[in-house]
Chains A and B, each alone.
Chain A
């Protein structure tokens, strides 16, 4: 799970990847505590499916595979996940993983303070502030 997270949101200049903020542990906690058992099972099946696909493509494990291959595999997975319309009304498990990775990363200390701009006590609201090219969003 950590490797999936780190592939989705890798280290970039200025901020670490999701793998460095304990994303695997976070996603597991959220799945166990905040989602029904079926969701956690579907996610586990999804991860198993990913590992199978890695072997099909000649790799051994997702974690440790090179970044180009990892990314390509997730892109392939997204093509399926984003066009799927499951009968039970639930999102494809890959999309649940992705949403939890995003939540876990952008609300982590490193994610919020380095990938985004974190201002806990702004002091005032300014309605029209010029946005410079490349400037990041507020974390909250």
Chain B
């Protein structure tokens, strides 16, 4: 049943703006829109999670957990996809979607990791944040696999805007490949990492080892304290939710801030079925919601709609928004909706041991690690593969778990295990993948979920380019670790399915040409300008950076544009 905006009773369901999704980008859209004076409805399909109050395990000790952090076979067997996610464990499982509750179809293997609750994956994200550089926008255009309608210069002021509010720790390194941001003090490196850095930068002039940049309050500023957040306590138990507000999440930051304006309405348990399109005006008029608990359908109306349901769900909602004008999904005049989905390549890892430094240790648990910005194909095509990769590494001393692979019994053995063991370095990659037409998601014609929504089919896989890039990372990684002073270096290509990166992007890509893209330079659907997409779905290429800070900047920028357009009467 359609509730037309003029139907009696619909007033209560009318807002200035609707935001679909309360995660890391939806929270930002809500904050900006509310601050600008718009009465904003945020629709979240999952349950409420109130900052601090709803973090049941935040201060738990290891012995408080029946399995000391491990998960029962009953859980892992019933949920093989999410069980592969490293952050999914006994202390955090309540913030992850269980496979069995939200089935989807893997036409090719794809591990779709989701967090359906207020705050979404902003509760469980890795909090690593790096700005895109101009090379990341220009490279894909030069090589012809993306047509970004914006440049780094367009986004730079918005990076600054979001970084200040979020609170980003980092060091001003002066690198064009990874621009500096608005930084709070950086985290320290340990002695072995410092040696690694010296060795690598001496052996490879032009490559940089820098400290990781992350969304943690190392020195909260007045506006952070005003948010009710405090200094990061170096616990590194973030995926439980942080009672100190030390890292950025919608729950600790943007949503309460939006609520303070008095203009936020947050509606959990709201599954968005579709965006309602009015053929007469050519605009979206609102959103149809299925109540997750009662299955009742309600229509909500607004002048602008922000779609921040997280990449694949945003694709799903748009594909499911069919009308006479858009039989293939909202804005989809050319069949590109759901196409050019890409992700980050996490296949390669290395480790090695470092001798010495027996008298050096560390204290506290650092929530970031040293990294190297991409050094491949920067500014020109040099390699056999397209794109580049970021490298992360950390050095640590083995703990009692070395006993699992060591012979020993009794008091002496226990004493040895109780002391810090030898130093190890672990290294991982974050590889760009090239968006391809054949990598796509689409709706199942017959399978439905518990709310009657069509299930999503994921048809996203690797390409030879990914194999070549992985191989280069592993070759380079060996040289880097050797220069770092590591011995007995071991490489691994896990061959894992895409998805565990949890950086899936695309499907509703930005572009200059409406015939080859879905969104314009302001993240508006070319074909329906009062609908904005500012989550991962909007990305025309993946870069090698952790993407969330870019989503936040795009969301803030697009929200401001939406407000300007509303004031001018264009929307």
- Name A's B-contacting residues (CB within 8 A): 7-10, 12, 15, 26, 29-30, 33-36, 67, 71, 74-75, 78-79, 82, 95, 98-99, 102-104, 106-109, 112, 115-116, 118-131, 134-140
In Å, the complex CA distance between A103 and B363 comes to 22
Residue of A nearest to B407 (CB): A78
**Dominant SS among interface residues on chain B:** loop
Residue of B nearest to A29 (CB): B66
CB of A45 to closest CB in B, whole Å: 20
Residue of B nearest to A39 (CB): B73
A12-B363 contact in complex given A82-B407, A104-B68, A122-B235, C-beta closer than 8 Å: no
Judge whether A99 and B67 touch: CB under 8 Å. no
Partner of A137 from the list B61, B360, B399, B410 (CB cut-off 8 Å) is B399
* Residues of chain B lying within 8 A (CB to CB) of residue A129: 360-363
**Dominant SS among interface residues on chain A:** mixed
Whether B417 sits at the interface, judged by CB under 8 Å, is yes
Residue of B nearest to A81 (CB): B407
4 tightest A-B CB contacts, nearest first: A127-B188, A125-B364, A122-B364, A107-B62
Flag the segment in B96-104, B115-123, B135-143, B189-197 that touches A.
Answer: B189-197
Partner of A109 from the list B61, B190, B194 (CB cut-off 8 Å) is B61
Residue of B nearest to A74 (CB): B409
Partner of A131 from the list B69, B360, B408 (CB cut-off 8 Å) is B360
Judge whether A137 and B409 touch: CB under 8 Å. no
* Residues of chain B lying within 8 A (CB to CB) of residue A109: 61, 63
* Residues of chain B lying within 8 A (CB to CB) of residue A36: 73
Residue with the greatest number of chain B CB neighbours at <10 A, chosen from A82, A118, A140:
A140
In Å, the complex CA distance between A103 and B69 comes to 10
Whether B422 sits at the interface, judged by CB under 8 Å, is no
Judge whether B363 and A126 touch: CB under 8 Å. yes
Residue of B nearest to A37 (CB): B73
Judge whether A139 and B409 touch: CB under 8 Å. no
Judge whether B361 and A125 touch: CB under 8 Å. no
Judge whether B358 and A125 touch: CB under 8 Å. no
Judge whether B234 and A137 touch: CB under 8 Å. no
Residue with the greatest number of chain B CB neighbours at <10 A, chosen from A26, A36, A106:
A106
Question: Which B424-454 residues have a C-beta within 8 angstroms of A?
Answer: none
Whether B413 sits at the interface, judged by CB under 8 Å, is yes
* Residues of chain A lying within 8 A (CB to CB) of residue B366: 125, 127
